Structure 1
Amino acid sequence: MTKYKFLPVLLLAGLTACSTSTVYIVRHGEKVSEADTTSLSAVGFERAQALADRLEDERISRILTTPTRRTQQTAGPLSQHLNLPIESYPPKPVDAVVELVQQTKGKNILVVGHSNTILEIAQGLGAKPSKANIESEDFDNLLIVTLKKGLFGKSVRLQEETYGKPTPP
């Protein structure tokens, strides 16, 4: 009997090491124009609301955006709905946000970035997006990265969706 004395302790330690996090990665919504890239357009604000509607039941517990106004405006409706603060991360290098996400074990996170960073963030988490780049007029990508850590290692799963209405031409 004494050889099994530590089995419950080992099982408990193993179970506490297990976690699943889901990371929702998006680009900010549509900008006013190329001349005014600081704020979202009316269509961008509609997309931000569509994002909040899509994620309201996903148990998001952390919202991360770059310090730019348009990323914060994109996360704003969900932040208000869930009464969660928006935390800033530096846009480059993406290793900074990847590290923040990896430190948040067992939680669901929204990350709002830019066309030149969202694929890189997903890759930094171990996912392999199907797109090579995000075009300047492409605002509707939703990358869902599920990170599972368990007794026998870790796994990464990527689901690629779109959300909101297509951007008008």
Structure 2
Amino acid sequence: MRIYKLLPVLLLVLGLTGCSTSTVYIVRHAEKINEADSSGLTAVGLERAQALADRLEDERISQILTTPYRRTQETARPLSQRLNLPIDSYPAKPVGAVVELIQQTKGKNSLVVGHSNTILEIAQGLGTKPTKTKIESGDHDNLLIVTIKNGIFGTSVSLQEETYGKPTEP
């Protein structure tokens, strides 16, 4: 008889240990000097990188992922330095590699810095449907926030779309 009284408690404990929430902040690199793969950020881009650090410093980020390009790493550097976290690299293509890496990191918050042709695809790979269908070449202020909740009844994924930093002058 006592086992039947303990069964709900046991199920609750088992269920709670499988529950987790991860938030993934996805951005394109900030404004770059030119189209070269080794290009760094402009002064405006460096300001945007600082604005990103200001926006995310209290979001419990525990992982920072960028492509191996200088412009993505420079975008993440202010937050990396502020939080004393390393910047880990992922291949720019295929985006499935970074999506899989994120999905394996349950219960942790991540910053992912990508490119105009990858950030929407990363958000989609995580199970969301961004309202934009394309990131334009001068568009550097998108912040896609994907929340992944793993619970005893399955996984739910939501997307919040914001902008950050000052608008770029045309």
TM-score range, shorter chain: over 0.9
Q: Is the 8 A contact 1:31 1:37 kept in 2?
A: no
What residue in structure 1 maps to residue 169 of structure 2? 168
Q: TM-score, normalised by structure 1?
A: 0.96
1:12 shift after superposition: 1.5
For 2:37 and 2:149, the matched residues in 1 are separated by: 40
Distance in 1 of aligned mates of 2:169 and 2:54: 20
Secondary structure in 2 matching 1:22: strand
Question: Which residue matches 1:83?
Answer: 84
**Cα distance, 1:42–1:36 mapped onto 2, change above 3 Å:** farther
- The one-letter code of the counterpart of 2:119 is I
Identity score, percent: 75
**Residues 51-83 of structure 1: per-residue CA shift (max 9 Å, x gap):** 000001111010000010100000000000000
The residue type paired with residue 157 of structure 1 is S
- State the match for 1:144 in structure 2: 145
Following superposition, the deviation at residue 2 of structure 1 comes to 2.5
- In structure 1, give the amino acid aligned to 2:150: K
Verify the 8 A CA contact 2:37 2:69 in the aligned structure 1. no
Describe the SS at the equivalent of 2:139. Answer: coil
Contact 2:29-2:71 at 8 Å conserved across structures: yes
Single out whichever of 7-16 and 19-28 deviates more from structure 2: 7-16
Structure 1 residue 13, shift from structure 2 partner: 1.5
Q: Is the 8 A contact 2:116 2:137 kept in 1?
A: yes
Normalising by the residue count of structure 2, what TM-score does the alignment of the two structures yield?
0.95
* 1:126 counterpart = 2:127: yes
2:43 is aligned to: 42
The answer for unaligned runs of 5 or more in structure 2 is none
* Aligned-partner residue type, residue 70 of structure 2: R
